[in-house]
Structure 1
Amino acid sequence: MKARVLIADDSVHMRMILKEMLVRCGCEVVGEAEDGAEAVRMYDELMPDVATLDISMPKMDGIAALKAIKAKHPNARLVTVGAMNQQKLVIEAVRAGTSGFFLKPFQSERVAEAIERALK
């Protein structure tokens, strides 16, 4: 799969792990944001094929970033990233229009499936 991806996560370590997985899947990581506000700005600049948005980020969380991006770009493909204890937030992200989601800790297969599903 060849897709241009923007990663948004406040953890440098998580961005690094996710970037490695995406590159192995054939994706090109075109940007990395450390909070939701930066993700919105970078999305506007880069217009990636897909963006991954961590649910819990400072300044603006992933759900607020998802809503902001969708307001400007209704066809945006956005994949939400959450933790096992964030089921309610994942449901909120689905209602807000996420194209898919996967959970931490990352599993390569789940990441690839979520990106592929978002691209369809």
Structure 2
Amino acid sequence: MKKIILLLSFITGFSFSILAAADTNTMQQTAPSNPSATKISEGDLNKFVKTYKELVQIQQKYQQKLQANQGKDAQQLEQKAYKEMNEAVKNNGLTPQQYNQIAQQIQQNPQLRKKIQSMQ
């Protein structure tokens, strides 16, 4: 149940905990010490917005299925959703770590958040 809540919060609150779990060690090695100081290119912002929209669709696709299923079926659905989310990020030209870093900067920077909202 906690994983389902995490999956749903990923989309609704720009939570990046699910993708961060994909490779915590790599992210710790590649994450800048001050993520808000990293400049994000316009291209990466466009990739982020496109990816975010796809992640919302994936979340909507699995939300009812996850709520209706329990146990092993729910776990398999979570794995499928997780895999699709990772593929969506990668197919849009970002790594999960890059996506997470951009999401973190959006959370910390109100101006960047407004810019992203205007791009949607």
Larger helix proportion, structure 1 or 2? Answer: 2
Give TM-score scaled by structure 1 length: 0.25
Q: Give the structure, 1 or 2, with the largest relative contact order (CA under 8 Å, sep 6 or more).
A: 2
The structure with the larger Rg is 2
